[in-house]
Amino acid sequence: MSKDRKNENNFQHLEGELGKYLERKELDDKKSKSSYLFLMIGFLVLVISGFLYKKSLDTPVETYKDLTSYVESIRQVEAKPFSWTYEEFEALDAQHSAASKTRVEDIIKKYGAPTSLETSIYSSEYESLRLLYQTEQPRRQVELLFVDFGGQLTLAAKMSSNLFPEPYEDIVGENSHDWTSQEFNNLRVGASNGEGGVSLDEVLSTYGPVYVAESFGTVDYWTIRIQYLNHETSDNIFLDFTKDGEGEYQLSQKHKEVRNW
Q: For residues 54 and 76, state if they share a domain.
A: no
| Residue 232, domain member (yes or no) | yes
pLDDT tens digits for 84-132? 999 999 999 998 777 889 999 999 999 999 999 999 999 889 999 999 9
Q: For residues 54 and 71, state if they share a domain.
A: no
Nearest CA to 104 among 71, 141, 56?
71
Q: What CATH number did the domain enclosing 202 receive? A: 3.30.1450.10
Compute CA distances 145 → 8, 10, 45, 116, 154, whole Å.
95, 92, 41, 12, 8
Count of domains observed in the chain: 3
Beginning with the edge strand found earlier in the chain, give each strand of the sheet holding 249-257 in spatial order: 116-122, 126-136, 139-149, 152-161, 212-217, 222-230, 235-243, 249-257
| Kind and range of the H or E run holding 31 | helix 3-58
Averaged pLDDT for residues 220-236: 87
pLDDT tens digits for 186-219? 999 999 999 999 999 999 999 999 999 999 987 6
Q: What is the pLDDT of residue 17?
A: 53
Q: Mean pLDDT: which of 58-72, 139-153, 210-224 is highest? A: 139-153
Full domain range(s) for residue 108: 67-160
Q: For residues 80 and 124, state if they share a domain.
A: yes
Q: What is the pLDDT of residue 51?
A: 41
- Compute the distance between CA of residue 40 and CA of residue 25 in angstroms, rounded to an integer: 22
Selected residue with higher pLDDT from 49 and 159: 159
HSE, side-chain direction, 13 A CA sphere, residue 19: 6
Q: What is the pLDDT of residue 187?
A: 97
- Compute the distance between CA of residue 173 and CA of residue 30 in angstroms, rounded to an integer: 70
Averaged pLDDT for residues 3-8: 46
- Compute the distance between CA of residue 61 and CA of residue 74 in angstroms, rounded to an integer: 6
- Compute the distance between CA of residue 115 and CA of residue 161 in angstroms, rounded to an integer: 15
Q: What is the pLDDT of residue 7?
A: 44
Say if residue 214 is exposed, middle or buried (CB neighbours under 10 Å; 0-12, 13-18, 19+). middle
Q: What is the pLDDT of residue 20?
A: 56
| Residue 144, domain member (yes or no) | yes
Domain boundary among 160, 191, 218: 160
Q: What is the pLDDT of residue 30?
A: 53
Nearest CA to 203 among 251, 139, 256?
251
Q: What is the pLDDT of residue 96?
A: 77
| Residue 167, domain member (yes or no) | no
Q: For residues 74 and 151, state if they share a domain.
A: yes
Q: What is the pLDDT of residue 64?
A: 72
Q: What is the pLDDT of residue 34?
A: 52
| Residue 253, domain member (yes or no) | yes
pLDDT tens digits for 6-60? 444 544 554 455 455 555 555 555 555 555 444 455 544 444 444 444 444 455 5
Q: For residues 73 and 142, state if they share a domain.
A: yes
| Residue 176, domain member (yes or no) | no
| Residue 165, domain member (yes or no) | no
| Contact partners, residue 61, CB within 8 Å, separation at least 6 | 70, 73, 74, 77, 104, 105, 108, 109
Q: For residues 71 and 153, state if they share a domain.
A: yes
Q: What is the pLDDT of residue 176?
A: 81
| Residue 215, domain member (yes or no) | yes
| Residue 225, domain member (yes or no) | yes
pLDDT value at 1 more than 70: no
Asked whether the CA dihedral 74, 78, 79, 80 is positive or negative, the reply is: negative
Q: For residues 50 and 71, state if they share a domain.
A: no
Q: What is the pLDDT of residue 19?
A: 55
Q: For residues 35 and 5, state if they share a domain.
A: yes
Averaged pLDDT for residues 151-179: 90
Q: What is the pLDDT of residue 144?
A: 97
